[in-house]
Amino acid sequence: MKILVLDAYNLIYRAKSGFTKGENAVIYMFFRSLRALIEQFKPDECYFVLEGMPQRNIEVLGEYKANRPKQSDNFLRQKKKIISMIKENFPITVARHPYYECDDIAANIARMVANKGGEAIVISSDTDFIQILQWETKGSIKLYNPVKKKFIEPPEYNYIRWKCMRGDKTDNIPGIPKFGDKTAEKYALSENLFQELMESKEKSEIVKRNKDLIEFADECCIYDEHIEIGLTKLFNKDNVYKEFKEMEFSSMIKEKYFNSFSCTFEKLCLL
């Protein structure tokens, strides 16, 4: 069993960097890229994981992700359209928890699959997912970066420790002052150095706080009663064609391309 776990927002934001002509360029790029990923990996099942409010992280650090730039109304409209189209027209399981981030849910879906002996491939350029490569499971967990177009290899050092010392500017998480990549790596590779560092009250408090922010939630989050999981079992070919036509995706509604596009997702229905 091979499962593809898509970091939904990561892929949608990535679609901003491609073709930019027209009001629906992000939607255009997203669905072309999605089709390519399904074709490349040929999964038995696919999850599309959405963001919830990172409640636990905000409780730990009020400024968590407060540095994120505001997106344009046009982009937000396209993001909403992509999500609604996936929910209504594609044979893809959509998952979201109102109180957990996408990362927590996606990582634990991957762990659930791997613990059952399957293969889980997480698609994201978010480096937080590197930690899942160091989990022990019965099956395999892989991380594919769609920007670099390659699988990511786990580092020799404990990634969680490294990132707790280093911090994460993207998420507005301060690290230990004057700790760059190489210094954090040195301490992460040495148990003695790391334990010495943890004897410092100031440094250990930073590491412990950051561990709460960076380490993914445990498996209970995907079995919580609040989690939302919806599945459209059939590919709605007619509706997708209509949507693409209305958005004037002329290259995507050409018979040859659209038949290939449809075939990609119809195969998911048959598995």
Q: Are 104 and 90 in contact (CB under 8 A)?
A: no
Same domain, 76 and 166: no
pLDDT at residue 114 in the model: 95
Same domain, 62 and 121: yes
Boundary (domain end) residue, out of 214, 239, 256: 214
Residues sharing a CB contact under 8 Å with residue 14, sequence separation 6 or more, in sequence order: 33, 125, 146, 147
Same domain, 43 and 166: no
HEC string of the chain equals CEEEEEEHHHHHHHHHHCCCCCCCHHHHHHHHHHHHHHHHHCCCEEEEECCCCCHHHHHHCCCCCCCCCCCCHHHHHHHHHHHHHHHHHCCCEEEECCCCCHHHHHHHHHHHHHHCCCEEEEECCCHHHHHHHHCCCCCEEEEEECCCCEECCCCCCCHHHHHHHHCECCCCECCCCCCCHHHHHHHHHCHHHHHHHCCCHHHHHHHHHHHHHHCCCCHHHHCCCCCEEEECCCCCHHHHHHHHHHCCCCCCCCHHHHHHHHHHHHHHHHC
Same domain, 16 and 71: yes
pLDDT at residue 19 in the model: 65
Boundary (domain end) residue, out of 173, 195, 214: 214
Q: Are 91 and 269 in contact (CB under 8 A)?
A: yes
Same domain, 52 and 30: yes
Evaluate whether residue 219 is within a structural domain.
Answer: no
Evaluate whether residue 220 is within a structural domain.
Answer: no
Same domain, 121 and 52: yes
- The answer to whether residue 206 scores a pLDDT higher than 80 is yes
What percentage of the chain carries pLDDT values higher than 90?
80
pLDDT at residue 5 in the model: 98
Same domain, 163 and 34: no
Same domain, 255 and 166: no
Same domain, 58 and 177: no
pLDDT in tens, 112-150: 999 999 999 999 999 999 999 999 998 899 999 999 999
Which of 78, 70, 63, 58 is CA-nearest to residue 11?
A: 78
Which of 37, 46, 43, 35 is CA-nearest to residue 5?
A: 46
Same domain, 25 and 87: yes
Same domain, 80 and 7: yes
Evaluate whether residue 123 is within a structural domain.
Answer: yes
Residues sharing a CB contact under 8 Å with residue 249, sequence separation 6 or more, in sequence order: 24, 28
pTM of the entire structure?
A: 0.94
Q: Are 176 and 167 in contact (CB under 8 A)?
A: yes
- How many domains is the chain built from? 2
Which of 237, 245, 259, 4 is CA-nearest to residue 106?
A: 4
Characterize the bridge pairing of strands 140-145 and 119-123: parallel
Same domain, 65 and 184: no
Evaluate whether residue 11 is within a structural domain.
Answer: yes
Evaluate whether residue 179 is within a structural domain.
Answer: yes
Boundary (domain end) residue, out of 168, 194, 214: 214
- The answer to whether residue 18 scores a pLDDT higher than 80 is no
Q: Which domain holds residue 173?
A: 159-214
pLDDT at residue 223 in the model: 86
Assign residue 8 the CATH number of its domain: 3.40.50.1010
Evaluate whether residue 169 is within a structural domain.
Answer: yes
Evaluate whether residue 199 is within a structural domain.
Answer: yes
